[in-house]
């Protein structure tokens, strides 16, 4: 059976990345811990940028729609 799976939302991806960061910080090998932690932090920053960009696009779309509504009526 080939069930369709949905792509996780950015918020779900962020929550997972934050959990991964906690796990990375518990790695016993200091060098690996540092590497994994840095990778997780970069991933979290990337997801947060994507969320900010999405929210900004939505804000602009809402503002444009609001202006369109004012001129339509």
**pLDDT single digits (tens) 7-29:** 999 999 999 999 999 999 999 99
Q: What is the 3-state secondary structure of the chain?
A: CCCCCCCCCHHHHHHHHHHHHHHHCCCCCHHHHHHHHHHHHHHHHHHHHHHHHHHHHHHHHHHHHHHHHHHHC
45-68 tens-digit pLDDT = 999 999 999 999 999 998 888 877
Residues 15, 40 contacting (CB under 8 angstroms) = no
pTM of the model: 0.80
């Amino acid at each position: 059976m080939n069930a369709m799976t949905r792509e996780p939302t950015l918020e779900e991806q962020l929550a997972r990345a934050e959990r991964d960061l906690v796990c990375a910080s518990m790695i016993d090998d200091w060098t690996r811990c540092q590497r994994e932690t840095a990778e997780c932090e970069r991933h979290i920053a990337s997801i947060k940028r994507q969320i900010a960009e999405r929210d900004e696009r939505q804000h602009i779309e809402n503002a444009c729609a609001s202006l369109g509504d004012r001129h339509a009526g």
